[in-house]
């Protein structure tokens, strides 16, 4: 049997289920949710020159990085930790509280939220950078064999999600594990040096991925930061995965490299996963936008309404992403006891309500010739297509409005309907513009979707 090569995966099509799904729910959970704190310094991708950047680790707004940020001298997190728990309180002791708190967790509640939001898959952190395991692995860290959840969180949630007819993917921090390499990351150089390059760690991480694949058959392999193995070894792992999950999806973070131009990946993958970024037009390759509802992935008790997306903002972002050949993997950060803050739940339910009405303009669609348009009075429009049907999703449309949608040429419409409404529309098409009179009552708020039959 010949060995897999990078080229052997190069022409592998993105699985159809994934392209159809459009929405997934990311879940960051672990002992970081006990301190649950990071400075409210804004998103790291904010173009504001005063906002924290990817390399500004002392002001890192990601609460799941607490174990690192608390050790950076002079950081707000270090000050918070010293004041709240004492300077000598070790991060590992949060495991005791977490394992006590998770007795209250009901995985069915999470699975119900995933379904209610309209998502078709979920992705759970199995091990984040702190090395704490959320499943009873046969491969424990030899220095901390008990640094593991007291419940099989991965197994229980996988069963609950699949019981709702949804798919389950798994995240694993392959490139950072502070149990194996306790490098404080205060700079870009530190981050590169923090990746454990030892053979024993490569075997440890590979054994974990193989165990997760064999036991749970995840719909996606969602690795983070990098993976300390050769290209050939990574390709062998991919082949092992595809043999177990032929329609599985591999992300682009097995060979992530940080450099002066940002993030780049050198290994063939199924999907790109930019974080808190926007795409300007239809991307030629399938991608997955990754972000939290707030500015952190792990629960940050200090975040409030100002930091969280509203339902309207989430819907608008989601529609924009789908129109540009993307999926949205939107993250929730539960508390240590498994409860999810209401300010995170509300926008997800708003999105789910919107999708109940307008899902046909989203699920199973593909990008059109271009993603963006406008109405004559400046409302944003996003396009998707399905066979001979074009969808024009108008963001912020109001009842009884007269819409003039530009950029719909070269489609010649034979019928135009408002998705979710049985009321016939008055419409006309002139010079590449579509004129539509909306009814007095709209079927959904935030955005309306027009079905344009050619």
Q: Do 262 and 30 contact (CB within 8 A), yes or no?
A: no
Strand-pair partners of 429? 434
**Burial environment of residue 284 by CB neighbours within 10 A (0 to 12, 13 to 18, 19 or more):** exposed
Given the candidates 3.40.50.1370, 3.20.20.80, 2.60.40.10, 3.40.50.300, the CATH classification of the domain at 6-361 is 3.20.20.80
DSSP class per residue in 16-49: HHHHHH-EEEEE--SGGGTT--------TT--ST
pTM recorded for the entire structure: 0.94
Angle, helices 342-358 vs 311-323, to 10°: value is: 50
The DSSP secondary structure of 198-241, one letter per residue, reads -HHHHHHHHHHHHHHHHHH--SEEEEES--SS-HHHHHHHHHHH
Instruction: Please give the C-alpha separations between residue 227 and each of 64, 206, 306, 333, in angstroms, as whole numbers.
Output: 19, 9, 36, 25
| DSSP assigned state of 284 | S
* Close Cβ partners of 357 (under 8 Å, ≥ 6 residues apart): 419, 420, 443, 444
Report the distance separating Cα 96 and Cα 8, nearest Å: 46
Report the SS3 class of residue 90. coil
Q: How many CB atoms lie within 10 A of CB 345?
A: 16
Q: From the CB of residue 53, how many other CB atoms can be counted at a distance below 10 Å?
A: 12
- Here the tokens at position 118 are 């309209």
CA–CA dist 383, 323 (Å, integer) = 6
Name the CATH superfamily for 372-453: Golgi alpha-mannosidase II (2.60.40.1180)
CB–CB of 208/141 below 8 Å?
Answer: no
Residue identified by tokens 């001298």 is 73
For 156-268, where are the E strands, in sequence order?
A: 167-173, 220-224, 249-250, 256-259, 262-265
Residue-level pLDDT at 233: 92
The pLDDT score that the predictor gives to residue 265 is 47
- d(C-alpha 229, C-alpha 305), whole Å: 42
State how far Cα 225 lies from the chain centre. 15
Mean pLDDT per block of 10 residues along the chain (454 residues) reads 51 93 98 97 70 78 97 97 98 98 98 98 98 98 95 98 98 96 92 91 97 98 93 93 97 67 56 91 95 97 95 98 98 98 98 98 97 95 95 94 88 89 91 91 93 91
Q: What ranges make up the beta strands (E) of 165-246?
A: 167-173, 220-224
pLDDT the model gives residue 231: 85
Structure tokens at 323: 């129109």
Structure confidence at residue 6 (pLDDT):
47
pLDDT at 1: 37
Nearest partner of 136 among 152, 125, 124, 156, judged by Cα: 152
Are the beta carbons of 317 and 451 closer than 8 angstroms? no
What residues contact residue 234 under an 8 Å CB cut-off, 6+ apart?
227, 254, 255, 267
By C-alpha distance, which of 103, 113, 208 is closest to 149? Answer: 103
Using an 8 Å Cβ cutoff, are 346 and 116 in contact?
no
What's the Cα-to-Cα distance from 380 to each of 71, 320, 415, 448, rounded to whole Å?
45, 10, 22, 11
Chain-centroid distance, C-alpha 21: 13
- Separation CA 221–CA 239 (nearest Å): 12
Per-residue model confidence (pLDDT) at position 451: 96
Q: Are strands 447-453 and 326-332 parallel, antiparallel or unpaired?
A: unpaired
Question: What pLDDT is recorded for position 409?
Answer: 77
Largest CA distance in the chain: 72
| Domain ranges, ordered by start, for the chain | 6-361, 372-453
- Total number of residues shown for the chain: 454
Q: Is 118 left (phi over 0), alpha (psi -120 to 50) or beta?
A: left
Strand pairing class (167-173; 220-224): parallel
């Amino acid at each position: 049997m010949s060995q897999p090569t990078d080229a052997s995966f190069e022409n592998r099509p993105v699985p159809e289920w994934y392209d159809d799904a459009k929405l997934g729910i990311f879940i960051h959970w672990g002992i970081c949710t006990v301190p649950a704190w990071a400075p409210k310094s804004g998103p790291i991708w904010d173009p504001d020159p005063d906002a924290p950047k990817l390399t500004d680790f002392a002001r890192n707004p990601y609460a799941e990085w607490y174990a690192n940020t608390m050790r950076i001298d002079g950081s707000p997190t270090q000050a918070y930790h010293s004041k709240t728990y004492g300077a000598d309180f070790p991060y590992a002791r949060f495991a005791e509280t977490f394992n006590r708190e998770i007795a209250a967790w009901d995985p069915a509640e999470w699975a119900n939220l995933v379904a209610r939001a309209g998502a078709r898959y979920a992705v759970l952190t199995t091990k984040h950078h702190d090395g704490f395991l959320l499943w009873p692995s046969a491969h424990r860290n030899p220095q901390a064999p008990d640094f593991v959840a007291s419940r099989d969180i991965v197994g229980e949630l996988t069963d609950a999600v699949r019981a709702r007819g949804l798919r389950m993917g798994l995240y694993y921090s392959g490139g950072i594990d502070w149990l194996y390499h306790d490098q404080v990351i205060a700079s870009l150089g530190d981050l590169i040096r923090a990746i454990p390059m030892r053979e024993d760690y490569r075997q440890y991480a590979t054994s974990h991925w193989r165990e997760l694949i064999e036991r749970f058959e995840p719909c996606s392999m969602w690795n983070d930061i990098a993976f300390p193995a050769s290209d050939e070894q990574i390709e062998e792992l991919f082949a092992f995965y595809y043999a177990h999950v032929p329609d599985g999806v591999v992300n682009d973070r097995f060979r992530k490299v940080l450099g002066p131009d940002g993030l780049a990946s050198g290994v063939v993958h199924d999907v790109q996963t930019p974080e808190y970024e926007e795409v300007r037009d239809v991307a030629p390759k399938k991608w997955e936008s990754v972000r939290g509802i707030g500015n952190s992935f792990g629960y940050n008790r200090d975040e409030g309404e100002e930091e969280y997306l509203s339902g309207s903002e989430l819907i608008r972002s989601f529609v924009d992403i789908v129109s540009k050949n993307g999926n949205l993997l939107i993250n929730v950060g539960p508390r240590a006891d498994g409860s999810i803050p209401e300010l995170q739940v509300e926008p997800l339910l708003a999105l789910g309500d919107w999708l109940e009405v307008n899902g046909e303009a989203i699920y199973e669609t593909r990008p059109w010739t271009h993603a963006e348009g406008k109405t004559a009075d400046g409302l944003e429009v996003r396009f998707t297509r399905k066979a001979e049907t074009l969808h024009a999703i108008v963001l912020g449309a109001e009842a009884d409005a007269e819409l003039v949608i530009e950029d719909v040429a070269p489609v010649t419409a034979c019928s135009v309907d408002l998705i979710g409404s049985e009321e016939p529309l008055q419409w006309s098409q002139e010079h590449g513009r579509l004129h539509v009179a909306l009814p007095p009552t709209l079927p959904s708020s935030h955005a309306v979707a027009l079905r344009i039959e050619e």
